[in-house]
Structure formats: C-alpha cells, structure tokens
Structure 1
Amino acid sequence: MLFSSSFSEHSSAIVSLMHRTLHAILEHILPSASIGAGLAALCLVRYLKSPWRSVPPGPPGIPILGNALQMSSDQYWLKYGDWRKDYGSIIYLNAAGQPMIVLNDHKIAAELLDQRASIYSDRASMIVANEILCDGLLLPLARYSETWRRMRKAAHETLNKVVAHGLNDYQAKEALTLASNSLQDANGWGTHIRIATTSLMLRSLYAESPVSDKDDARLTHMDAFALRVTLAVPPGSHWVGILPWMRHIPRIFSPWKRNAEGWYRKDNKIFHDLFERVQDDIKVNGIEQESFCATLVHDAHRYRLTTHENAWLAASLYVAGADTTRAALEWWTLAMLAYPDTQKRTQDELDAVIGRSRAPTFSDMPRLPYICAIVKEVLRWRPTNPIGVFVSWPYLFDASR
C-alpha cells in the first residue's frame, strides 16, 4: 500500500512536470522560435532581393568587420592596386557592413562617373570629414543636393578660363618670390613652396596680402584645416565611418565628436571672417580688388548662396587647390634633382626662348613645348591625388558591362 501510494505521488509529479514543461514551450519557447524564424526569413528575403547579393570579386574579410582592417593603411590606394592583380578592375569590399566598390580602371571609372554622372554624382556619407568638420558644405565631399548644385555652378562659372587668366599676375608675382627665396635658401625649398602656394590661394580667393614667412597665422591655420579634413577622409580613419550608429552616442561619451565640433566652430569663424572682409570692403568701404570672393559678392543674385555657403565654397577651393599645387611643385623639384639630363634640357629650352634677361610669363607657354610636356609628365608620374572621392552607389551596376 505504501509502495502504491509512493508510485502514485511520483506519477502525479511527473505528469505535473510534463504539463509545466509543455506550458513553457507553448508560452515562451515557441513564440521566441517563431520570432527567430521570422527574423531569419526576413534576412533571407532581404538578402535575396539585395542588389549586393551578386557582387564583383574581392578579398575575403573577417566576421563583423569585413575588410575594414585591411583598408586602414595610410597608402590604401596601393592596396587597391595590389588587389587588382587578383580580383580584377572592379572590386567589392565590405567595411563592417558598408558595401564599397573600387574601380581600378580609368576607362570604367570614366564611363560610370562621367558618362553616367546623373546616377553617380552623389558622395558617400563622410560623417566626420564632411558632416561635422565642414557642416556638409565642403564641395568635393558634400552630398548631392540643391545647395551642392548652386555651389558647384558658382565655382564652375567663376573659375572659367577668362576669370582664371585675370589671376595670372598673382601667380607670376608668387613665382618670382618663390624663385628668389629658393635661391637665397635652397635647403628650405619645401617651406618656400608651402608659403608660395598658400599665399597664392589666399590672394586669389580673398585678395589677401601675401604670406611672407612660415610663422604667419594664416598659413598655420590653413595647413591644419586641410590636414584635419584629409586625415578624416580615408576609410577606417574613424570608427563612426564604419559603424554609423556611433553618431547617436551622446557627446559626453564621444570625445571624437566633441573634438570635431570644436574644430568646426573655430574653422567656421575664420572662413566667415575671410569672406565677410571681402564683402564689407565692397559694400561698405567701396574697395574693389579682383578675387574669387569678390565675384561671389557681385553675382550674389545669380548664385543665390548664403554667406555661410559662400564662406565654405571659398574654403572648398582652398582645400582643392593649395595642397595639390604644393604637391605638384614638390614632385617637379624632386624630378629635376633625380633626372639631371631632363633638367638640363628644360633649362636649355628656357634659355633659348626666354634668355636670361627676364622671367618667363604665361604668354611664353606656346613656345615652351618641352617644359609644358614635363609638367604634364610630372602630374602623370606622381598624381597629387592618387584616389578619387568616395561616391554613393544607389544600386549595383552590372559588372559585366
């Protein structure tokens, strides 16, 4: 009887346990499994419908980060060139979930970025370099928008050949100053080039007085600004570029955001001061000096740009022009040192056409074909910008075409 009672109690306990287990499965586990299955199905559908499902070949990455760590090199364009040998002219990369296409062929790049510019005119989102450091208004990095179109129109029309020729005197004066400084201090040739290119851009854009020495505050600021933007552009330079959700982290926990916003406030004030000085000279003081910003002030009704947009358009042209001109002159100098025979032939042409009694001018260019060819060769040999700007791909093109 005792055994029977004990068995009955155990049976009841087992039945009760099974009942509770079944209830837990129905109430908790099955719904969770259904949700999980639903999410898995959703991911599968999105993957099957994704234009990135069929992508060009590319190097294998690692879980979560993809190819992000492989793209963090200072000379990442060399890495892209190496990958071309293994994967072809169109390469697919995954930077922590952010798809990227690398075009390693000039013909393909020209077809997509020039002939199909209406599709591929937009820029990839650069949270630090463009949105925070430049308020989204640095023209080479800005996203496609109505503001971008107005700024680009102003830059294109204001920098046409006729206007550019009007700035030839500035360039001639700075060239003479550069030559004189280099003769007096040959060891400081790099500093002299840096001073000359900054001075030229400031005079052309704002009709500023020339930069005379390396300690000029304008030179220090402009160099620092250009360097900050340049360093913030490459993939992997900031984690927020790889993990965009980090932009929503509060500022108190984001030193990178606080630093970038602080630099923006400082740079914004300086660029506004430079532009507004030109504007006040024309409108208040009646002072007229030819410059890019002066043209923007006179044609304000045509371009419909705000003071803020004008200030950053001029800053955009400084970034685009100063460093590239400086780099080209530095490579030219190194080329003349590395290839003395070429340097001698260049000097011989200059002496034969110009002589030693005066400096060459822009009007002499048609009679200096060898020198013009060497300038183009230096730009081909050592391009000032070895990689293009990252664009936004609205959909994946057919790589077979």
Structure 2
Amino acid sequence: MLSIQVIGAVAVAAFLLYRILRIGSREKFLPPGPPTIPLLGNLHIFPTHLAYLKMSEWNRQYGDIYSLKIGSGTVVVIGSSQAVYEVLDKSSGLTADRPPNHFVDIVTEGYHLVLSHYGNVWRNMRKGAHEILTLKSALQHRPIQDAESVQLMYDLLTQPKDFFDSIRRFSMSVILSVTFGKRAPHTRTRELLAFFEMHPLWERILMPGSYAPVDFLPFLKYVPERWAAWKGDCKRVKKMQEDLYFGLMEETKHRLEKKGQENGSYMETVIKKADEWGYNYQMVGHLGGTLVEAGSDTTSSFTQTLILALTAFPDVQKKAHEELDRVVGQDRMPQHEDFANLPYCRAVVNEVHRWRPNAPLIPRRAQDDVIYKGYRIPKGATIVENLYGLFHDPETYDDPERFWPDRFILSEFGTKKHLEKDPGRRNNLAFGSGRRICAGFHVGSYSTAINTMNLLWSFSFLPFKDAHGVEQYPDIYNYAQALASFPNPFEVNIQPRSPAHAALIRHAFADHIPDFQRYEHDIAPEDRKLVEALREEVKRSL
C-alpha cells in the first residue's frame, strides 16, 4: 500500500501541476476572447505587426469588450464609445494608471507625463501641464503657429518632393517654439536631427514585441546585458533624450537671464515656478521632453495623413476647394476665424482623426476592479482603448475604410444617424479620455485647423505619373509599424492652385519674419545663415 506521505506528495504535485496548467486560462468573470492555451494564454497569437488591425477584428468578433490572457496577465480591449465613456471617462479615477513598463522606468525614471504611473509625481506634473497649457497661453503662441504653417506652404511650393521632411520640420518647429522658445528653421537643424535619430529607437523600445516581455516575465530583468539587447538600447536612448531635452532646458534658463529674450514659452514658466511646484531637475526636463514628443508626433502624423487622403480621394479635395473659394476667395489666405464658416473643412479634420487616429491603441491599467456589462475588469489588468476599432466599426460608421468627410455633415459625430445620441459620442475622442486626455489639445487642434485650411486653399494634391504617364495613387494602407500611426513615405504631385496663390504664399512668408525672429535667439550659426539666405531669396522673388 502507498504510504500517506507518498499519497500526499502526489496530491501536492497534482495540485501544483493543475495550478501551473491554469496559468493563461481566462477567468469566468472576464469578457470573452480568443481561445487560450496553457501557460501562454494568448501570447502565441498576440499581434506584433499593426496590432490594431487584428485587435479590431477581434472586437468585431467578440464585441465592444473582450479579453486576452498574456501568461498570467490580463488585457481587456474596449472598442466602442460607450465602453470608453463608462470605463475611462466615468470611472477615470480607477483607470488613469498606465501598465508597468520596465523600459520606461529605466529611460525616464518615472518622469514621463504620458507614460508614467498614476501617483503623486504624475499628478504634480499633470497639474503643472494644465497650468501652462491653457487656452489663454495657447492664444499667445498662435502667431508662430501661423508663421510655421506659412513656411510649410512655402516649402511645399519650392521643394514639393521633400514634403515629408517639410511636414516633420513644421511640427517639430512649432512644438519646440512653444515649449522651449527655440524654433527649427530648417530640416537639418541640429535639435530636429537629434530628435529624429532618437525617437525611432524610443518607439522601438515602447513597441510590444520588440524585446522580451520583461513586465510579464520579471526574471528577465536579471539576464546579463550581453544577452539582453534592451538594456543597452535603454541606456542609449536615455542619454540621447537627456542630451536633447536637458540641453534645451539649459538654453531656456540662460535666455531667462538675458533681458529682452523671453518669448513666453511654456518652459520659461515651468523653470520660474519649479520650486513653487516642487519640481526637481528631472521633472522639469522630462516635462518639456514629453510635450515635444507628443506635439511632434500628432501634428506630423495628421498632416501626412491629410495629404495622403486628399491625393487618394480627389472628390474630397474638389469639395474643399469649392468651399474655400466661396468663403475665403482667392485674393487672401485663410484666417482662423474662417474655420467656423467652413463646415466641410471642419469635417475633413474630423475625418482624418477618425480614419487614421494618431494613437490607434492607448493602454491603461485598472487601479481597482471595474464592472462593465456584467464583466469584471480586475485590478491590475491592462485596458487597451482601441480607437482604430472604434472608428472603423461598420455597425457605427458607413463604409468606414472610405475617407468621406460628408459623414460629419450628415451626422454630428460621423456615425449612422440613429447612433448620434449614444453616450460617449464626442469629436475629440482621438485626443484621449478621462484623466489622461491630451493636455495640449488647444495647441494641437489649432495646428490641424490652420494647416488644413492653408494647404487646401493653396495646393492641388495629385497622383504622380509614372514613366508611361499613368497616374499612380498612393496605398492608403501603407502605414509604419510604430506606436503612432504614420503613413510610410509616398509620392504625390503638389501643385499651387494658381500663380496668384503662389505669390500670396511668398508675401505671407516675408510678412511673418518678425514672428519667426522672436524664437530665433538661440539658433545655431549655420541655421542663422540658412535663414538669412532663405529670406533674401523670398524678398527677391516678390
């Protein structure tokens, strides 16, 4: 007969095996989702390339809320405006955290406003961001946004083939100007080059699947660096960020010490109030860096997608031209005040945000249990706001893959008519939700409005012709594998709508020189030479 000890040992072993094999299983209180396998859960099918496409497919299969198991961890994906409203807006006090990210902790030491955990440091930095990013302060920076938009028009007029780089320069220059008080006048400006050398590496670190899943398998933190490429990459990006962001911060400090060189940039205020707010050196530098990252990504992604859509859907461009000619005319350039009288242009802006949201997937972390539709989202679970799936739901939007601004003329939120009154509908969903909604909304929305009007008023965006004269339309699905939604470079034939339009662009560029100069105290000598040469060229062309 077997001894009691042997029976006990077998029972314990069986129990441990059962518990191990249960790892990866979906708990009964969770919403449904793809079938799991022991230990891995859904890790073996978790998408690593354009993940929002597969996750949106699962939303259509399992509903507006479903779950994934990543080992013993839980991911809950929400893909409807109602779910966003109930889980992230109404329950924002429970869902304002971010998932743990060991890489972020190494690179930013927990001081990244967008990625850091919900706690005292985040609340303090968010409070400061809200104090500087008011509508009143944003109004003070509209002259440089107008000026940079005009330079973008001039660059597209004179160097149309370089439009991708010109858009990146525009977006980077605006956010550098309003944040650190120093613009990037050229595509070869040192700070611009440093940012675009660093940022792809930073995005790779943040991209799920790029490295070992340290947060789900914590023992990987102790693997030696020779076998853990992420350790060296994190160190490299940390140094690159600190060299750029803290260098800009020091320049801002020095400018504050000189009379007549203040320009009202956000970091001037942060530096002055750092002691009052309880900010240390790292908090000041990383707040500025976070604003630069957020502002550069969103505006350039929007503008590149805008041009892609206008080229691929010429009927949209035709309607917008007709509206601008009727309301603004061809004898002057658009002003922001015109935007209220341009419903179709406003619809174009809303449709860009819907069609290709800049952040298709936004992660959160539940700080406590949250109940939705009878399911329990457990404390500690990762919550993914699937904006792409939300905006491409065929039950909500007619022909969602089509770029069709008319939907926002026919319905306030672009939805099918009977869904207009659903809770949670709003046209700023692309800017986030709850306590994590974008603090720089006023600056970003102004840039998208003025750029949309200016580019549509100034240019025709036409498909390029190949060697045989055949028009080649861009691939509307050719998007980069990145956290932000960027189209890969494409070819387009950019033409001024008339010689009169071109002349007005040149005159406007010359008129905005004083607005540029306010943010040029600290630009490099080589940039100053290029700026002077460019302005002489413009004056000769008038």
Question: Residue 149 of structure 1: CA displacement?
Answer: 0.2
Pick from 194, 206, 209 the counterpart of residue 233 of structure 1. 206
Distance across 2 between alignment mates of 1:284 and 1:171: 25
Question: Residue 33 of structure 1: CA displacement?
Answer: 4.3
Question: Residue 184 of structure 1: CA displacement?
Answer: 1.4
Q: Structure 2: where are the runs of 5+ without partners?
A: 376-542
Q: TM-score, normalised by structure 1?
A: 0.84
- In the other structure, the counterpart of 1:66 is 41
> CA 1:385 to 1:183, structure 2 compared with 1: closer, same or farther past 3 Å?
same
Alpha-carbon contact 2:107-2:237 (below 8 Å) kept: yes
Alpha-carbon contact 1:66-1:97 (below 8 Å) kept: yes
Pick from 125, 144, 147 the counterpart of residue 100 of structure 2. 125
Distance across 2 between alignment mates of 1:356 and 1:374: 20
Q: TM-score, normalised by structure 2?
A: 0.63
Q: Which amino acid letter does the alignment assign opposite residue 32 of structure 2? A: P
2:116 corresponds to 1:110: no
Alpha-carbon contact 1:201-1:322 (below 8 Å) kept: yes
Distance across 1 between alignment mates of 2:371 and 2:54: 23
Alpha-carbon contact 1:51-1:395 (below 8 Å) kept: no
Alpha-carbon contact 1:140-1:389 (below 8 Å) kept: no
- In the other structure, the counterpart of 1:290 is 264
- Residues 277-328 of structure 1: CA deviation (Å, up to 9, x unaligned): 1122214667312211112123334432122111111111122121111111
- In the other structure, the counterpart of 1:382 is 356
Distance across 2 between alignment mates of 1:249 and 1:399: 42
- In the other structure, the counterpart of 1:280 is 254
Pick from 158, 166, 170 the counterpart of residue 196 of structure 1. 170
- Residues 250-276 of structure 1: CA deviation (Å, up to 9, x unaligned): 435423212212221231232111112
Distance across 2 between alignment mates of 1:79 and 1:127: 26
Pick from 288, 305, 308 the counterpart of residue 331 of structure 1. 305
Equivalences for 1:293-304 in 2 at 5 Å? Answer: 293-304=267-278
- In the other structure, the counterpart of 1:7 is none
Secondary structure in structure 2 of the residue aligned to 1:390: strand
Q: Which amino acid letter does the alignment assign opposite residue 108 of structure 1? A: A
2:306 corresponds to 1:307: no
- In the other structure, the counterpart of 2:144 is 170
- In the other structure, the counterpart of 1:13 is none
Secondary structure in structure 1 of the residue aligned to 2:94: helix
Taking only aligned residues, the RMSD between alpha carbons, in angstroms, comes to 2.8
Pick from 66, 73, 89 the counterpart of residue 64 of structure 2. 89
Question: Residue 332 of structure 1: CA displacement?
Answer: 1.3
Distance across 2 between alignment mates of 1:232 and 1:95: 19
Q: Which amino acid letter does the alignment assign opposite residue 114 of structure 1? A: D
Identity %: 28
> CA 1:320 to 1:375, structure 2 compared with 1: closer, same or farther past 3 Å?
same
Distance across 1 between alignment mates of 2:368 and 2:184: 45
- In the other structure, the counterpart of 2:391 is none
Question: Residue 51 of structure 1: CA displacement?
Answer: 10
Q: Which amino acid letter does the alignment assign opposite residue 62 of structure 2? A: Y
Equivalences for 1:38-49 in 2 at 5 Å? Answer: 39=16, 43=19
Pick from 101, 123, 128 the counterpart of residue 149 of structure 1. 123
More strand by share: 2
Distance across 2 between alignment mates of 1:270 and 1:233: 19
2:140 corresponds to 1:140: no
Alpha-carbon contact 1:167-1:204 (below 8 Å) kept: yes
Alpha-carbon contact 2:205-2:230 (below 8 Å) kept: no
Alpha-carbon contact 1:68-1:236 (below 8 Å) kept: no
> CA 1:326 to 1:36, structure 2 compared with 1: closer, same or farther past 3 Å?
same
> CA 1:248 to 1:139, structure 2 compared with 1: closer, same or farther past 3 Å?
same
- In the other structure, the counterpart of 2:327 is 353
Distance across 1 between alignment mates of 2:226 and 2:308: 47
Higher relative contact order (CA 8 A, sep 6+): 2
> CA 1:331 to 1:262, structure 2 compared with 1: closer, same or farther past 3 Å?
closer
- Residues 178-225 of structure 1: CA deviation (Å, up to 9, x unaligned): 111111122222121111111111111111133312x33322221233
Secondary structure in structure 2 of the residue aligned to 1:327: helix
Tell me whether 162-171 or 365-374 shows the greater mean CA deviation: 365-374
Distance across 2 between alignment mates of 1:35 and 1:339: 66
Alpha-carbon contact 1:113-1:121 (below 8 Å) kept: yes
Secondary structure in structure 1 of the residue aligned to 2:66: strand
- In the other structure, the counterpart of 1:3 is none
2:316 corresponds to 1:342: yes
Question: Residue 333 of structure 1: CA displacement?
Answer: 1.1
Distance across 2 between alignment mates of 1:31 and 1:286: 82
Q: Structure 1: where are the runs of 5+ without partners?
A: 1-17
> CA 1:188 to 1:269, structure 2 compared with 1: closer, same or farther past 3 Å?
closer
Count of aligned pairs between the two proteins: 372
Pick from 52, 61, 65 the counterpart of residue 77 of structure 1. 52
- In the other structure, the counterpart of 2:74 is 99
Alpha-carbon contact 2:198-2:240 (below 8 Å) kept: no
Secondary structure in structure 1 of the residue aligned to 2:76: strand
Q: Which amino acid letter does the alignment assign opposite residue 71 of structure 2? A: A
2:29 corresponds to 1:54: yes
- Residues 208-249 of structure 1: CA deviation (Å, up to 9, x unaligned): 133312x33322221233323333334333212442221133
Tell me whether 191-200 or 380-389 shows the greater mean CA deviation: 380-389
